[in-house]
Amino acid sequence: MTNLRENGVLMGVAVGVRQESLLGKYEVRPYKPEDAITIYNELEVPNWAPWLRASAETLAKRAEVFPDGQLAVWEGKRPIVNISLSRFNYDGNPDNLSTWDELMGVPATGKDTFDLNGNALGMMSINVHPDYQGKGLTKVVIDAVKDRAVKLGVTHIMGSFRPSQFGEYSTQNPNASIKEYIDKKRKEDNMPHDAWLRALTKNGMRMLRIDDAAMVIPDVTRSEFEDYKKSYKPEKWKQIAPSVWRCGETGVWLAGERSAVYVESNVWGILDKNGTS
């Protein structure tokens, strides 16, 4: 059970067998614009390919646009997890949901779509520091988001979720589709193969539909594209068709003679109230 204090700080947030050791160890509270540079260096850089990183300016702007929606888990002064929330109105029809890019904007600050009276929180981006992954901290964060939803009077908790291990999977299975991957279950417990989708599912997430072109990075020059290929995990890149490259990330690159575009699919989901957490 979580315990929301008046000043917006969550303490002793984690419950459950795997989370017992986390009890009281961390603090969950919003990060401020001035924390953005630390969040960028500690969490964004180690977790994201250079073409996908939110800059420190973007992270700071998110905290100005929606201060209640930019949460971090802190170990002392060190942020070890952060999550970016958006606020929008959901009309109950999954077909009407925007893409990730439409909802967050370019740069991805959420400033043009933020709706103070929106009935939905969107979990748009989460980063667990690599040293802290696999310890169950996603539950701590999802519980904090659930508390925020209550505090803000929001009905739905949703997200355009990134199946973050699809890149790894598609390196082994270059022709795999995102649909096949999302539907892939582990034999032992019939839970999603993907860790983020699995953690979400265990916390009551129901998938709504694929967000096909969730994130698109257009107009990358051919030379920038070549630099990425050489400098960012070069061993992961694989040409699967004359102008199509897998790169170890969730999306693919479509590269022409002069320019390239990166396209990534996510999955829209909603956390049911009667989830399993």
All residues at 6 or more sequence positions from 26 whose CB lies less than 8 Å from its CB, including other chains? 13, 14, 73, 74, 75, 80, 137, 140
**What tokens does 182 get?**
């999302």
Q: Does 277 bind ligand COA (CB under 6 A)?
A: yes
Nearer Cβ to ligand COA, position 134 or 174?
A: 134
Number of residues that bind ligand COA (CB under 6 A): 22
User: In the complex, what is the shortest distance from the CB of residue 234 to ligand COA, in angstroms, rounded to a whole number?
Assistant: 20
User: In the complex, what is the shortest distance from the CB of residue 103 to ligand COA, in angstroms, rounded to a whole number?
Assistant: 13
Q: Does 128 bind ligand COA (CB under 6 A)?
A: yes
Residue span binding ligand COA (CB under 6 A) among the ranges 56-64, 98-106, 120-128, 251-259: 120-128
Residue list 141-170, contact with ligand COA (CB under 6 A): 162, 164
- Three-state secondary structure readout of 58-122: HHHHHHHHCHHHEEEEEECCEEEEEEEEEEECCCCCHHHCCCHHHHHCCCCCCCCCCCCCCCEEE
Choose among 59, 48, 50, 46: nearest CA to 220: 50
The 235-254 contact track toward ligand COA, x by CB under 6 A, reads: --------------------
**What tokens does 75 get?**
């170990």
Q: Does 221 bind ligand COA (CB under 6 A)?
A: no
Q: Does 136 bind ligand COA (CB under 6 A)?
A: yes
User: In the complex, what is the shortest distance from the CB of residue 264 to ligand COA, in angstroms, rounded to a whole number?
Assistant: 10
Nearer Cβ to ligand COA, position 118 or 122?
A: 122
Q: Given 3-state DSSP classes, what are the helix, strand and coil percentages for the chain, each rounded to the nearest 5?
A: 35, 30, 35
Q: Burial letters for 144-166: b for 16+ Cβ neighbours within 10 Å, e otherwise?
A: bbbbbbeeeebebbbbbbbbbbb
Work out which of 8, 16, 107, 248 binds ligand COA, going by CB under 6 A. 16
**Pairing, β 156-161 against β 120-128:** parallel
Nearer Cβ to ligand COA, position 198 or 246?
A: 198
Q: Which positions touch ligand COA (CB under 6 A)?
A: 16, 47, 125-128, 133-139, 162, 164, 195-196, 198-199, 202-203, 277
